[in-house]
Structure 1
Amino acid sequence: MQIFTCPACSARLYFHNTGCRCGHQVSFDPDAATMRINAIPCDNREVIGCNWQADQCGLCRSCAMTKTVPDIGTPDNVPLWAKTEAAKRWMLANLMRWGWFTAQDAGDRPVFKLLSEQTATGDADVIMGHANGVITINVTEASEATRKERQEDLGELYRTMLGHMRHEMAHFLFVRLSASAEFVQAFRALFGDETADYGAALKRHYQSPKPADNNHITSYATAHPHEDWAETTAHLLHLTDLLDSASAASLVLPGGPAQGIDAYAETDTERLVTQAVETAIAINHVNRALDLPDLYPFVLQPGVRDKLAFVHRHLRLRA
């Protein structure tokens, strides 16, 4: 993620900021990828701290994609909703760097249902997923304690709300890309036949999960070509943003990318991934000094890198 400046005083601003120390309120302009001081703010600013400028019907482009919000009759759901929307805005701003969901992008937009397991009428069962352009997100996992408990139960190396957003959005991006017969043919040659029975594949996975291997970034990626695509795409987004954010913060390594580079402009996937991994390894070393977990605890095998390159090539088609 880029680091921004205040239009009034040039002070440093971060993506989540709603105001500057100089006293001006700021709003993020997703098309210009900059902060504004004279824009009309999103209607959700006071409710959930949304810091994007209004785009339509008083809502920003990100909030307008949310058609269902969690039951705010349960007060704990409001901060969970806020954290979930913040992750969605971050994910969308990343994809806009490649031209997705900008004003010039005439393609379909996803619809988000943000649901909570806690409602005013009792507990509810919420299953995250994507179907027919609708992305369902469980805001309960915006609670760090809840998410960490499930991560441990599932034996996962990484589980975050931003990760959920990137994974489920990947399914939506696949639908848009699959309008091209050429894309589908190339996808099947590398990932497999996505028309294989999805329910049966998931049942087999949960009964006897396979470990990550040369061709699959995670165990879940082995379940079905759709999940392989979603996991691979999410990791490409992780790595691209990792490198971009490190560069924006002036965290550079000898022989690595120069300060201030635009990772989203990189066309060489191998170079992008290698530099992102080297940066992560350096930060891992720092984290261990404070007994913190590794930043990016994954090993990228050659087959996985081939799939990352495929995803990178197709997501950059809009750049």
Structure 2
Amino acid sequence: MQVFHCPTCGATLWFHNTACTCGQEVFFDPDAQAMVSDAAPCANRSEIACNWRAEQDDLCRSCAMTTTLPDLREPDNAALWQRTEEAKRWVLANLMRWGWFTASDQGARPVFQLLSEQTAEGTEQVTMGHASGTITINVTEASDTELVHRQQQMGELYRTMIGHMRHEIAHFLFERLAENPDFLETFRATFGDERADYGEALKAHYANPKDKGDTHITQYATAHPHEDWAETIAHLLHLTDLLDSAAAAGLALPEGPPPGYDAYAETDTEHLLTHAINLALAINHVNRALDLNDLYPFILTQPVRDKLATAHAALRQH
């Protein structure tokens, strides 16, 4: 993510800011990828601090994609809705750097159902997932306590709301890209035949999980080609944003990235991955000085790097 500046005084602003210290109200323009002062506020600005400019029915582009809200009669759900929308805006803004969901992108956009396990009537089961363009997100995991609990329960190295957004949006991106037969040919050669029975594959995965070995980024990626793609895309977005955010903040090792580096303009996947991993290793070392978790606790084998390169080319050239 880039570091932004106030259109009035030039002071530093961050992605979620709604105002500058000089008093100027600001709005994020997703197509300009900049903070502006002359825009109408999103209708959700006062409720969830949405700082994007309004576009459709007084909603911003991100909020307009949400069709179902958690039960707001349950007091805790308002804060969980806000944190979930913050994660969604972050991921959408990243993808817009590659032209996805911009004003000039005439393709379909995802629909989001944001549900909570806690409702005014009691507890309900919510399963995150994607189906035919609709993404269901469990806002309960926007709670830090619940997120840590489930990460430990699942034995995962990484689990965040931004990670969930990246994974589920990846399934939607597949549907968009699959309209091109050339993409499907490349996909099947790299990830496998996605026409294999998905339900049966998940049953087999949960009954007898496979080792990820050298060919998959996570164990869950072994379940089905669709999940291999979604996990690979999520990690591509993690690493690209890690590198872009570090460069925007002026963080770099002697070997790079150079000043002004734009990770989203990078065409050489191996170059991008090398810079991102080198930075992650350095930050891992710093985190350990404060007894914090590693920033990026994954190892990228060459087969995984090859999948990341295929995914990178597809997302950049859609």
Is this a same-fold pair by TM over 0.5? yes
Query: What code does the residue aligned with 1:136 have?
Result: T
RMSD: 0.6
Structure 1 CA distance for aligned equivalents of residues 191 and 8 of structure 2: 49
Query: 4+ residue stretches of structure 1 with deviation over 6 A?
Result: none
Aligned length: 318
**CA displacement, residues 86-123 of structure 1 (integer Å, 9 cap, x when unaligned):** 00000000000000000000000000000000001110
Q: Is the 8 A contact 1:70 1:81 kept in 2?
A: yes
Unmatched segments (≥5 aa) in structure 2: none
- Matched-pair identity in %: 67
2:158 corresponds in structure 1 to 158
Structure 2 CA distance for aligned equivalents of residues 207 and 271 of structure 1: 38
Structure 2 CA distance for aligned equivalents of residues 145 and 211 of structure 1: 28
What secondary structure sits across from 1:152 in the alignment? helix
Do residues 249 (structure 1) and 245 (structure 2) align? Answer: no
**CA displacement, residues 101-157 of structure 1 (integer Å, 9 cap, x when unaligned):** 000000000000000000011101100000000000000000011011110011000
1:118 corresponds in structure 2 to 118
Query: By how many angstroms is 1:282 displaced?
Result: 0.4
In the TM superposition, 1:86-105 aligns within 5 A as: 86-105=86-105
2:4 corresponds in structure 1 to 4
Structure 2 CA distance for aligned equivalents of residues 9 and 208 of structure 1: 59
Query: By how many angstroms is 1:75 displaced?
Result: 1.0
Query: By how many angstroms is 1:214 displaced?
Result: 1.4
In the TM superposition, 1:276-287 aligns within 5 A as: 276-287=276-287
What secondary structure sits across from 1:284 in the alignment? helix
Structure 2 CA distance for aligned equivalents of residues 95 and 186 of structure 1: 21
Structure 2 CA distance for aligned equivalents of residues 214 and 274 of structure 1: 18
1:199 corresponds in structure 2 to 199
Query: What code does the residue aligned with 1:255 have?
Result: E
Structure 1 CA distance for aligned equivalents of residues 208 and 288 of structure 2: 33
Query: What code does the residue aligned with 1:256 have?
Result: G
Q: Is the 8 A contact 1:213 1:301 kept in 2?
A: no
1:57 corresponds in structure 2 to 57
Query: By how many angstroms is 1:59 displaced?
Result: 0.2
2:240 corresponds in structure 1 to 240
Q: Is the 8 A contact 1:170 1:229 kept in 2?
A: yes
Query: What code does the residue aligned with 2:41 have?
Result: P
Give the structure-1-normalised TM-score. Answer: 0.99
In the TM superposition, 1:253-292 aligns within 5 A as: 253-292=253-292
Structure 1 CA distance for aligned equivalents of residues 299 and 80 of structure 2: 32
2:303 corresponds in structure 1 to 303
Q: Is the 8 A contact 1:28 1:35 kept in 2?
A: yes
Query: What code does the residue aligned with 1:101 have?
Result: F
What secondary structure sits across from 2:317 in the alignment? helix
2:177 corresponds in structure 1 to 177
Structure 1 CA distance for aligned equivalents of residues 213 and 308 of structure 2: 14
Query: By how many angstroms is 1:213 displaced?
Result: 1.9
Query: What code does the residue aligned with 2:110 have?
Result: P
**CA displacement, residues 171-227 of structure 1 (integer Å, 9 cap, x when unaligned):** 000000000111101111111110101111111111111222211000000000000
**CA displacement, residues 271-314 of structure 1 (integer Å, 9 cap, x when unaligned):** 10111000000000000000000000000001000000000001
Query: What code does the residue aligned with 1:265 have?
Result: A
**CA displacement, residues 4-50 of structure 1 (integer Å, 9 cap, x when unaligned):** 00000000000010000000111100010000112111000100110
